[in-house]
Chain A
Amino acid sequence: MDDKVKTAARYFNGVSARPFESLCSLSEASQVLVLEPEGEAPLTFSFRQLHINHLEKEVLVLASDGPNRRIIEIRNAPFIAAYLRVNRRTRWQSWRHWFVQTGTGVHLLLALAILAFCAVLYFFAVPALAEKAVDFIPRSVDEKLGASFPGATAETEEGDSLLRLELNRFLRRMAPELDSRYRITVINEEQVNAFALPDGRIMVYSGILKKMHAPGELAGLLAHEVAHVEHRHSMRLLCRNLSGYLLLTLVLNDVNGLLTLFADNAQRLQQLRYSRNFEREADLSGLALLRKQQIGPEGMLSLFRILQKEEGLQVPGWMSTHPVSAERIQYLQEKIREKPYPVKQHPDLEDSFKRIRQILN
């Protein structure tokens, strides 16, 4: 042997659990480990055959290839060090071993670095990519998505369908160039709310209609909802949410429930942030639509004042799906001041709005 490192070892032959006390030595030149079991012929294992089962400073368990794994147990620190040094095939494993041994400080640092990297990915890179992905999804998918929403249910009554006709007439008059996707459905409930589905259906609660006093308010509301559809907000939200979840599950793979809980909440907060941004975008491009039709912006402002009265308890901005109304009024006013525009009279809208009021009463 060209290397004088020797140690006692225990050998198991893979046939029974009987231990063979053995003498074990290494050869760097021929890359082999030689085992001399008590009362048996010596065995030679090339390093290629041997896998490290378990490695600690003072425990090394080696296993050989083959249908019956033969096991060699070594409990001698200098010999273990020599084995790792001499064996050219364990470099990768000893790299791991070295890293595991570097100490918890380094690992913690790495953990924090990974965390920071994921945060950057999660808050910036993934949303941006998801936004880009939306451009590749055809509009027809939005239509299908909207169509899967449990249908136009509440508009069967006579009065409602009259109301619906009149509201749709209002929409056509206020924005003649909108295509036929856009149609209004009334939900007969006292809620002061409205929302748009990705296929162009705009659902308006009768509650909010009853609060309105001027055609400009209705125009403002519809402009806002149309903008949601135009900007494909539902689809964008869906894409962002999905990609966010995908990343989180990839990273948190096999970690237990507690982290998933954190992840869920992170996701929810993210979603609120997105949806606030979307509301703002819808407000501003709603305003642009009014500008194009030369409809006065006061209606939109007064719509938000109506909503403001409805908001009882104020939720802090960052925890809410919509920007608080006061904030919305503020940025709309700024925009109006920045870019004032000429306003026309709209007798047709006045007329239509009057009829809506009549049907409602």
Chain B
Amino acid sequence: MEILSSTTTTSRVYPLSFTGKGSDYFGIAMVNLLLSILTLGLYYPWAKARELKYLYGATEFDGSRFEFHGSGKEMFRGFIKAVIIFTVVYGGLVAGIILNQLLAGLIWFYLGLLFLIPLAIHGSYKYRMSRSSWRGIRFGYRGKRNEFMWMFFRELFFTVISLGIYGAWMTIRLRHYVLGNIRFGDARFQYKGHGGDYFVLNIKGYFLSIVTLGIYLFWWQKELFAYYVDHLSLEHKEEKIQFKSIAGGGDFFALIMVNLLLMIFTLGIAYPWVMTRTLTFVFSKIQVTGNIDTAQLLQTESAYTDATGEDMSDMLDLGFVI
């Protein structure tokens, strides 16, 4: 490989691609399904580790693959803890029903779930980032749990009293905090969106989608994707890498419609192909340019092995991307 650049400051394009194949991923999913059934579902954390390993390993940045090195064992421990936590939350609801205190039970249940959301986000980032690496250099998440919880509930409070309008600002501020605390070795991510722009984007998307009977949805999706990617950058000392979306609304239309048809007509069996198609799309539509010399990145982030947050966010069905 001759891309070993010396410390030039000239800008270049970094290749980024996903090379995974649906058929390979299907094979992995089948082994996992079989083992999950044989173990009555207990294999789930190991299955998840396998799938993440494959998806990360098939993603290539600047000539090297990413790596997910979390283990099934870690995630199983997290899984057990998450199950206990959820049992307590659900248990309160059941106790409420049995003791004829339905209201108290419901309040306990919903407050509990609400409380778990920021905990799950924090925990899953901390775990997932620590277990992701590239060329042996770990990612890391340096957000503080209490700080994030406080922020989450403060923003949520404003969103509620503004009848949801503040939601756009909330999203951007959370993103700003979470993404801004991600480290890639000694490089750090930055997110520079604005709540106001994001609000306008969504209002526009909402009304145009209604006016065009939903056709604009795909262009709205394109703008949301671009708003995420275009405001993201990676900084390393004086150097910088900027991400940029090159996806068009038509691209999203093709991706989503084909995915939908695949899922419907195969009763979901095509899920692995849908997944690999989507990742191929996402990584081919992000352009990465900048002047960071990747050979200079240093290992700085410590390992973190508690996967409870990761498993909780699975149970809450939270997407990983905030």
By a beta-carbon cutoff of 8 Å, the part of chain A in contact with chain B is 10, 12-19, 21, 53-56, 59, 61, 63, 67-71, 73, 96, 99-104, 107-108, 110-111, 114, 117-118, 144, 148, 250-251, 253-256, 258-259, 262
Determine if A100 and B67 form an interchain contact, defined as CB atoms under 8 angstroms apart.
no
Q: Which residue of B lies closest to A117 (CB)?
A: B37
Determine if A114 and B64 form an interchain contact, defined as CB atoms under 8 angstroms apart.
no
In chain B, positions 270-314 with a C-beta closer than 8 Å to chain A are 271, 294-299, 303, 314
Cα distance, A108 to B273, chains bound together (Å) = 13
Which residue of A100, A117, A258 is within 8 Å of B27 (Cβ)? A100
Determine if B136 and A258 form an interchain contact, defined as CB atoms under 8 angstroms apart.
no
Which residue of B23, B48, B98 is within 8 Å of A107 (Cβ)? B23
Task: Say whether, besides A10-B1, A19-B135, A71-B67, A96 and B31 are in contact (CB < 8 Å).
Answer: yes
Determine if B48 and A16 form an interchain contact, defined as CB atoms under 8 angstroms apart.
no
What distance in Å separates the Cβ of A210 from its nearest Cβ neighbour in chain B? 34
- Size of interface on B: residues with Cβ below 8 Å to A: 51
Cα distance, A99 to B299, chains bound together (Å) = 36
In chain B, positions 44-71 with a C-beta closer than 8 Å to chain A are 44, 47-48, 53-54, 56-58, 64-65, 67, 69
Cα distance, A56 to B57, chains bound together (Å) = 9
User: Which has the most chain A C-beta neighbours within 10 Å: B268, B271, B294?
Assistant: B268
- Check B209 for interface membership: any CB of A closer than 8 A: no
Task: Say whether, besides A17-B185, A17-B296, A253-B41, A54 and B65 are in contact (CB < 8 Å).
Answer: yes
Task: Say whether, besides A101-B27, A262-B267, A15 and B299 are in contact (CB < 8 Å).
Answer: yes
Cα distance, A108 to B48, chains bound together (Å) = 20
What distance in Å separates the Cβ of B120 from its nearest Cβ neighbour in chain A? 16
Which residue of B19, B33, B67, B100 is within 8 Å of A61 (Cβ)? B67
By a beta-carbon cutoff of 8 Å, the part of chain B in contact with chain A is 1, 4, 19, 23-24, 26-28, 30-31, 33-34, 36-37, 40-41, 44, 47-48, 53-54, 56-58, 64-65, 67, 69, 97-98, 100, 133-137, 185, 263-264, 267-269, 271, 294-299, 303, 314
Contact partners of B34 in chain A: CB under 8 A:
110, 114
Determine if B27 and A255 form an interchain contact, defined as CB atoms under 8 angstroms apart.
no
Contact partners of A251 in chain B: CB under 8 A:
33, 36-37
Q: Which residue of B lies closest to A96 (CB)?
A: B31
Determine if A111 and B134 form an interchain contact, defined as CB atoms under 8 angstroms apart.
no
Determine if B31 and A111 form an interchain contact, defined as CB atoms under 8 angstroms apart.
no
Determine if B136 and A71 form an interchain contact, defined as CB atoms under 8 angstroms apart.
yes
Contact partners of A100 in chain B: CB under 8 A:
24, 27-28, 31
Determine if A16 and B23 form an interchain contact, defined as CB atoms under 8 angstroms apart.
no
Determine if B64 and A256 form an interchain contact, defined as CB atoms under 8 angstroms apart.
no
Determine if B133 and A69 form an interchain contact, defined as CB atoms under 8 angstroms apart.
yes
Determine if A255 and B24 form an interchain contact, defined as CB atoms under 8 angstroms apart.
no
Contact partners of B298 in chain A: CB under 8 A:
15-17
Determine if B27 and A14 form an interchain contact, defined as CB atoms under 8 angstroms apart.
no
Determine if B134 and A17 form an interchain contact, defined as CB atoms under 8 angstroms apart.
yes
Task: Say whether, besides A14-B136, A59-B65, A63-B69, A262 and B30 are in contact (CB < 8 Å).
Answer: no
Q: Which residue of A lies closest to B295 (CB)?
A: A18
What distance in Å separates the Cβ of B250 from its nearest Cβ neighbour in chain A? 24
Task: Say whether, besides A61-B67, A250-B36, A253-B41, A12 and B27 are in contact (CB < 8 Å).
Answer: no
Contact partners of B296 in chain A: CB under 8 A:
16-18
Q: Which residue of B lies closest to A102 (CB)?
A: B27
What distance in Å separates the Cβ of B237 from its nearest Cβ neighbour in chain A? 14
Q: Which residue of B lies closest to A16 (CB)?
A: B298
- Pairs across A and B, CB under 8 Å, 29 listed: A16-B185, A16-B296, A17-B295, A53-B57, A53-B65, A54-B56, A54-B57, A55-B57, A61-B67, A63-B69, A63-B136, A68-B299, A69-B133, A69-B136, A71-B64, A71-B136, A96-B28, A100-B28, A104-B26, A107-B26, A111-B33, A148-B100, A250-B41, A251-B36, A254-B44, A256-B268, A256-B271, A259-B267, A262-B268
